[in-house]
Structure 1
Amino acid sequence: MVTKGLLNLWATDRGTFPVVFLATLALTAALGNAARYLVNNPDVCLDKSKRNNFMHYEDDQGAEWRARRFRFANIKKNAINQSAQFDPAFEKEENKDVTR
């Protein structure tokens, strides 16, 4: 009976709908990011055969993961990502499609 009263209170107050919507949106974004990281990161070993092998992924998998981070960091140009200290990163093969 108390549960029905609490549900009725939440369902009838119009101010709770934005709170529930934003909480659901935040939960969905967090779960999506966690799933993307678990599936795509080469350091995560869900397969038991890879857990005992320290060299369990190839160089191209790590390069692809780093390239995503590099592309994301260079979406908007600024003084940090355009400085000369990042010249070696721009010269890597996986970062050739990122322009200054």
Structure 2
Amino acid sequence: MNLEKVPNQRKLTLCRKYYMAGFALLPFMWAVNAIWFLREAFWAPPYPEQKQIRKYVIISGIGALVWLIGLITWVTVFQQMRSEWGALADRMSFIIPKGVP
């Protein structure tokens, strides 16, 4: 969709929907929102709805970044500690590696 052809009120509505979808444990929606509306929030000529769009873009970007950092941290910890966690880690794994680490 070309955002230049969309009315400003519709842009705000769409941005708000992506922002709210991120709270449904869909941080990818926050990332899409932050990237898709970045130009509209910061570099487009000023219009009344832009302030709210900017707020949603900033919060969406921060939320997506927090989720990304949390996911990377979890994957790193799990990969390094899986063998030490024993049966608990085996129950959390879909694929259990064979052999001794």
Larger RCO, structures 1/2 (Cα 8 Å, 6+ apart): 2
Q: Is the pair's TM-score, using the shorter chain for normalization, greater than 0.5?
A: no
TM-score, normalising length from structure 2?
A: 0.36
TM-score, normalising length from structure 1?
A: 0.36
**Largest Rg, 1 or 2:** 1
